[in-house]
Amino acid sequence: MAFEGLSEKLQGVFKKLKGKGVLSERDIDDAMREIRLALLEADVNFKVVKDFVARVREKALGTEIHAGLNPGQQVVKIVADELASLMGGTNSKLTFSPSGFTILMMAGLQGTGKTTTCGKLAIYLTKNGKEPMLCACDVYRPAAIDQLEIVGEGAQVPVYTDRASKDPVKIAEAAVKEARRLGKNVLIIDTAGRLQIDDALMEELRDIKKAIRPHEILLVVDSLMGQDAVASAEGFNESLGVDGIIMTKLDGDSRGGAALSTKSVTGKPIKFIGVGEKLDALEPFHPERMASRILGMGDVMTLIEKLEDDYEEEQAAELERKLRKMEFTLEDFLDQMAQIKKMGGLASLVGMIPGMGAGKITEGQMAEGEVEFVKMEAVMRSMTKQERKDPSILNASRRKRIAAGSGQPVSQVNSLIKRYDEARKMMKSFMKPGSKMRLPGGFMQ
């Protein structure tokens, strides 16, 4: 889970502070020392840490306490604000050409996930009303063109290639003409990478930039590389000039030092983050939301957006109707499990729920939850549609048949039915006249 180690340590610091009615200068200095160590252990750039801690200490000692906050909560608020500021403050959006045709040039070292990210970005743009096309300008790496074609097929967008040419500048120029001819409004150029920054790579990228004049150059960096990722971002920006950063593999980076250092060191914002291997696992980066997630305060807005992406309005309205009329069946429960899997499973959602961050649920508990999900799904899929719609008909012989079909003991079938009955009773108590309920999609009032 992203920032897991840092999140757990910072929440431990704040737990000590929240228990104090008054904070002395020594209390604050002790807290700052622990925060400094937590950030350094998370592989945050040393100078960034030093400046960050100095700003937090100054504000903690010199700021008046807000109404409704105790001193410990005030420090948490200051840290949250400074973390968000450290990562850019607010979401930095892509810049599109006013003419209607935009060129995005992707750059980065080999192994950062640049080619796959081209496809992810294409899917994101398609969802937001754009008509993108990809272009393969990596003429060196074996099978690079094949990989982009596969990615393009998965993203359902066209890919411009020229296997006969070894000149990436000419390929890029031809792709611009073809994209315009086809009526596409965004062209994403996948350029070649290297194992390390070298003069030949930078010269080639500068030549492509000069020839096609991209509206944005997006640098793809691997979060797991830590400060090496920050150094490469700094090198690309100095030699090429980049407009924004896409940070991949953030979901697997328990430290998060690159995400916390990049903006301060390069001055360039993180625009998107990769949060999984699937082609739809790309999210706009919101610094204030990430700061909230790091501090265990959840990320409700991103959770809502994920739910709204995966729920049609009619689907949400139908779910509300079933819940209100107590018609929610195991068939509906199976559909909801499919939605959770589509959104990346329990692990991708837990950190967004306030109070459910690092230290609250262990990796072991998370794994147990995922296993339990698999077992419940197997049991429900072994039922007939009629049995899922009306579990009251599940007598002993039917339960025995379902257990055999799912590879689970009868006790697992009984446990699922018991949970379903308990959930219905709970829903009934919420559905009293005048009650309000918030659900995915339309979020009913």
Task: Identify which has the larger pLDDT, 369 or 36.
Answer: 36
Count Cα neighbours of 71 within 13 Å in the Cβ-side half-sphere: 16
Task: Identify which has the larger pLDDT, 31 or 15.
Answer: 31
Band the pLDDT of 318: cuts 50, 70, 90: low
- Of the chain, the percentage scoring pLDDT greater than 70 comes to 78
pLDDT digits 0-9 by tens, 398-408: 999 999 999 99
pLDDT at site 195: 79
pLDDT digits 0-9 by tens, 19-43: 666 778 888 888 899 999 989 988 8
Instruction: Kindly state the tokens that stand for 340.
Output: 């959770």
pLDDT digits 0-9 by tens, 266-280: 899 999 999 888 888
Rounded to the nearest integer, the mean pLDDT of the chain is 81
* Spatial distance between the Cα atoms of 269 and 100, rounded to a whole number of angstroms: 24
Look at strands 282-284 and 270-274 and give their pairing: antiparallel
Look at strands 282-284 and 159-160 and give their pairing: unpaired
Residues 6 or more apart from 44 whose CB is under 8 A from it? Answer: 52, 257, 260, 261
Any long-range contacts for 175-184 (C-beta under 8 Å, 24+ apart)?
Answer: 175/133, 175/135, 175/137, 176/103, 176/212, 178/133, 179/101, 179/133, 179/135, 180/101, 182/133, 182/158, 183/131, 184/101, 184/131, 184/132, 184/133, 184/158
Fold classification of 302-430 (topology level): 434 Repressor (Amino-terminal Domain) (1.10.260)
* Spatial distance between the Cα atoms of 417 and 439, rounded to a whole number of angstroms: 23
Question: pTM of the entire structure?
Answer: 0.68
- Averaging pLDDT over each range in 2-6, 53-57, 224-228, 318-322, which range is the top one? 53-57
Instruction: Kindly state the tokens that stand for 32.
Output: 């700052």
30 touches 62 (CB < 8 A):
no
Fold classification of 102-286 (topology level): Rossmann fold (3.40.50)
Asked whether the predicted pLDDT for residue 346 surpasses 80, the reply is no
Band the pLDDT of 363: cuts 50, 70, 90: low
Cβ density class 136-171: b for 16+ within 10 Å, e for less: bbbbeeeebbebbbebbebbebbbbbbeeeeebbeb
Band the pLDDT of 349: cuts 50, 70, 90: low
Selecting from 3.40.50.300, 3.90.850.10, 1.20.120.140, 1.10.645.10, what CATH number does the domain 4-86 have?
Answer: 1.20.120.140
pLDDT digits 0-9 by tens, 112-128: 999 999 999 999 999 99
Angle between helix 71-86 and helix 257-266 axes, rounded to 10 deg: 60
Residue spans per domain, the chain: 4-86, 102-286, 302-430
- Helix/strand/coil percentages in the chain, nearest 5: 60, 10, 35
